[in-house]
Structure 1
Amino acid sequence: MTEPQIDYAAVFRALPGMVALLAPDLVYADANDDFLRLAGRSREQLVGRYIFDVFPENPNDPGAAGMRETRESMLRAVTTGERDTMALLRYDIEDPQRPGHWQEHYWSPVNAPVFGPDGQVTLIVHRVEEVTELIRAFGGRGGDSRSRVLEAELYTRARELQEVNERLRKAHAHERETALALQAAMLPPPGPTGQHGAAVRYRPAVGALNVCGDWYDLVELPGENLAIAVGDVVGHGLAAACVMGQLRSALSAACRVTEGPARALDALGLYARSVEGAESTTAATTFVDWGDRSITYSCAGHLPPALVHPDGTVAFLDQATDPPLGARPEHVPRPQARAPFVEGSTLVLYTDGLIERRTEDIDAGLARLADTLTRHRHSDPEILADALLADLLPTTGNTDDTALIVLRL
């Protein structure tokens, strides 16, 4: 049985309700028949033209904000890759038959991104409900005073909600910028780090709040050995960034003065009891000894480090796992284990944003990680780090921040 051939262009034009397609630069790419009919424009008058050249703002309304709000909503959809629903909007339209005459209109718009094969936004779906008559009829028939008062009240409430929403957006954006700046000041910059040339990466989440709980660190130890750690604070935003900074500093100090990773995590766990917001933080710590070619490790509720052998086999270091920080009511010494390595192996530490997906089991993410590591095992650490991010993070952007360290042994 053959599948039916669907003319999607014909389907789009026949869609009920007003729908238009715009490029990311807000130039019309197409519009369906209802959009053309209700907007009073032909397809030739729209396609290839900038939206606000076709529909300029009413110059007779000094308080008009429809053009600014529509532009900001569309650009948010492009920037965030997420649907943006606007509040009730007044946007008057000039009568094409009578230049200079403006018709009062109320709209309820939604802007949604369309992604190309590369994961970038290629189109904006601009769907609009024309609600002018609904608002005018809200208080009854005709243009009596009660109807006009209720119309004004409904519009005013919608504008107030829109203003609150804009203030919240700006507050979230400011918090995100502050948290990212704080994290950037505390973490080593991406690129080769330390005398051993480890490659490090950090990718913030695409959402406005889901950032700044993850960290990584490299600590030089006596005898040219190295301690490597990653961690993940529960929570997001500025508060998580502050907790992350405290825990990262504490673990860095503990690695320098303790005999191994388990003792370092013990000290970190005791310290975390005095830090609000540090509960349930996860961390993985490894001590690399080049003298006897071994990795000693311990994990506090964290995903296991991956050791890639030159022949392509991947071993997850999962023999010293324990609950996250503060998960036990009483302090219990943490376990640690040791794994040998040969020259040319690669050690990879990462946080859950790299592999976890809400719709699948964690084993599927670990399998993807192992496959990518096997395929790129001979690559330079910098190239391997970029390959891991490219292969494992969603093309639409990661919903959780991601920290990553790649070290050639």
Structure 2
Amino acid sequence: MNDSAIDYAAVFQALPGMVALLGPDLVYVDVNEEFLHGAGRKREQTVGHHLFEVFPDNPNDPAATGVRNLEASLRRVLATGERDAMALQRYDVQDPERPERWQERYWSPCNVPVFGPDGEVVLLVHRVEEVTELIRARGGRSTDRTQVLEAELYTRARELQELNERLRQAHAREREVALALQGAMLPARRQAADHRAAVRYRPAVGALNVCGDWYDLVDLVGGHRLGVSVGDVVGHGLAAAGVMGQLRSALSATSRVAAGPAQALDVLGRYAHVVDGAESTTAVTTFVDFDRHTITYSSAGHPPPVLMHPDGRVEFLDRATDPPLDACPDPVRRPQAATVFTDGATLVLYTDGLIERRREDIDTGLARLADSLTRHRSADPETLADAVLRELLPPGGATDDTALVIVRL
């Protein structure tokens, strides 16, 4: 039997268990008959309606957070493109005929993404196992072993809910601390002001996804020169933010005395070898000489900087790329290359959160960046930075940090 002979609509309706399809806006697109039966809803009360419209949280019970937990899971799937099996959830389900009545239900949900041709999530499959009868302890004095086990399971389910909530709060606190630490260690925007530069940092979405991206601008000794660099530490959370601060400070200091960007990365690589968590960090640094109109650069496994000429022509600075920091057991001298620019050109450095997308070749992201820069080439750096982020980052935010530096030369 080939695919064209299969009635997928009929298959969907015949699926065992409660199954619903939601769009990225969390509006129900379709539900099977079992879902309608288990939820006590009619099709016209579900399809075309938002999640919170169909299943609002019980306003009379502050502990009724099942639907909010479900929303958080669905948004995680949208952001990461990965399935999310939720812990057992308690829901207060409103009676559509008698809105003042709420029925306690226990559902075990699993949310799965459906991808479109461009690799973006276009649908969410929401599958539910109804376990209310297994959880709810029946009243009475019976000592039946099944009831005892049900009561014990009910207790454990409530404890698990409380543990999940405490973990969520702890993760949120970690994210706040990591963001504050990261912000404190990144250079202030005023350091770029004299060079017609714009800097942007966008943290990853999700409580645990604060990463180790950094950027830096350094006035170099000897003539009218500027060092511009970005880097990306592997890992997430406070540990990555701490490593990021050490490496950024080291590269900033090294750049001021190094003969060129390759030597600066050589020294940084040796330093990374003794910093726990710094292995496989990527970084790229450029030395801009405004008197000679040259850019000298070197990259340690990082996406290439972009030089956009005044006529809109885009040049990727990719002729001096080497492995990431501390990737080789014995350090070797890193390559270095140079190019020239004319007044009015634009230098762009960024981290991979700007261009990389799941299930997409990196060249596609680089082409998208080049196109955005070219179309907005007449804009000032601040406006250009906002336009690039708006066009390249997903609407709900990226799953990786993004650092962006734009310098008008």
Structure 2 Cα separation of the partners of residues 194 and 101 of structure 1? 60
Structure 2 Cα separation of the partners of residues 100 and 397 of structure 1? 38
Kindly indicate whether residue 391 of structure 2 is the aligned counterpart of residue 391 of structure 1: yes
Cα deviation code 1:137-192 (max 9, x no counterpart): 9xxxxx76111112123333333333333333222222211111111111135689
Kindly indicate whether residue 299 of structure 2 is the aligned counterpart of residue 312 of structure 1: no
In structure 2, the residue matched to 1:205 is 204
Structure 1 Cα separation of the partners of residues 309 and 186 of structure 2? 28
Cα deviation code 1:42-66 (max 9, x no counterpart): 679889899699888698xx9x94x
Which residues of 2 match residues 358-397 of structure 1 at below 5 A? Answer: 358-397=358-397
Number of positions where the alignment pairs a residue of Structure 1 with one of Structure 2: 392
CA 1:28–1:317 in 2, change beyond 3 Å: closer, same or farther?
closer
Return 349-358 or 126-135, whichever deviates more. Answer: 126-135
Which residues of 2 match residues 77-116 of structure 1 at below 5 A? Answer: 77=74, 81=78, 85-90=85-90, 105-109=105-109
Return 315-324 or 224-233, whichever deviates more. Answer: 315-324
In structure 1, the residue matched to 2:286 is 286
Structure 2 Cα separation of the partners of residues 395 and 156 of structure 1? 40
Structure 2 Cα separation of the partners of residues 94 and 312 of structure 1? 58
In structure 1, the residue matched to 2:148 is 149
Is the CA contact (8 Å cut-off) linking 2:73 and 2:86 kept in structure 1?
Answer: no
Structure 2 Cα separation of the partners of residues 58 and 386 of structure 1? 39
Kindly indicate whether residue 220 of structure 2 is the aligned counterpart of residue 216 of structure 1: no
In structure 1, the residue matched to 2:68 is 71
Which residues of 2 match residues 14-163 of structure 1 at below 5 A? Answer: 17-18=17-18, 34=34, 37-40=37-40, 65=63, 67-74=64-71, 77=74, 81=78, 85-90=85-90, 105-109=105-109, 128-134=128-134, 145-163=144-162
Cα deviation code 1:250-272 (max 9, x no counterpart): 11111112222122112212222
Q: Secondary structure of 1:280's match?
A: coil
Is the CA contact (8 Å cut-off) linking 2:55 and 2:94 kept in structure 1?
Answer: no
Cα deviation for residue 345 of structure 1 reads 1.0
Structure 2 Cα separation of the partners of residues 190 and 250 of structure 1? 19
In structure 1, the residue matched to 2:242 is 242
Cα deviation code 1:171-225 (max 9, x no counterpart): 2222211111111111135689230121111111113322231100001123332
Cα deviation for residue 125 of structure 1 reads 8.1
Return 310-319 or 38-47, whichever deviates more. Answer: 38-47
Structure 1 Cα separation of the partners of residues 225 and 100 of structure 2? 77
In structure 2, the residue matched to 1:259 is 259
Structure 1 Cα separation of the partners of residues 358 and 288 of structure 2? 33
In structure 2, the residue matched to 1:166 is 165
Structure 1 Cα separation of the partners of residues 269 and 345 of structure 2? 31
In structure 1, the residue matched to 2:275 is 275
Which structure has the larger Rg? 1
Structure 2 Cα separation of the partners of residues 53 and 377 of structure 1? 46
Q: Secondary structure of 1:194's match?
A: helix
Structure 1 Cα separation of the partners of residues 216 and 56 of structure 2? 53
Letter in 2 for 1:71: R
Structure 2 Cα separation of the partners of residues 281 and 151 of structure 1? 51
Give the alignment's Cα RMSD to 1 decimal.
4.3
Structure 2 Cα separation of the partners of residues 56 and 390 of structure 1? 33
Is the CA contact (8 Å cut-off) linking 2:294 and 2:338 kept in structure 1?
Answer: yes
CA 1:173–1:294 in 2, change beyond 3 Å: closer, same or farther?
same
Consecutive unaligned residues of structure 2, counting only runs of 5 or more, are 116-120
CA 1:165–1:314 in 2, change beyond 3 Å: closer, same or farther?
same
Return 143-152 or 15-24, whichever deviates more. Answer: 15-24
CA 1:58–1:259 in 2, change beyond 3 Å: closer, same or farther?
closer
Return 162-171 or 307-316, whichever deviates more. Answer: 162-171
In structure 2, the residue matched to 1:140 is none
In structure 2, the residue matched to 1:179 is 178
Q: TM-score under structure 1 normalisation?
A: 0.78
Q: Secondary structure of 1:365's match?
A: helix
CA 1:287–1:131 in 2, change beyond 3 Å: closer, same or farther?
same
Structure 2 Cα separation of the partners of residues 25 and 388 of structure 1? 24
Kindly indicate whether residue 206 of structure 2 is the aligned counterpart of residue 193 of structure 1: no
Cα deviation code 1:326-371 (max 9, x no counterpart): 1222232222221110111111111111112231332222222222
Consecutive unaligned residues of structure 1, counting only runs of 5 or more, are 116-120, 138-142
Letter in 1 for 2:173: H
Structure 2 Cα separation of the partners of residues 203 and 38 of structure 1? 41
Is the CA contact (8 Å cut-off) linking 2:77 and 2:111 kept in structure 1?
Answer: no
Q: TM-score under structure 2 normalisation?
A: 0.78
Cα deviation for residue 408 of structure 1 reads 0.9
Structure 1 Cα separation of the partners of residues 132 and 272 of structure 2? 57
Return 243-252 or 164-173, whichever deviates more. Answer: 164-173
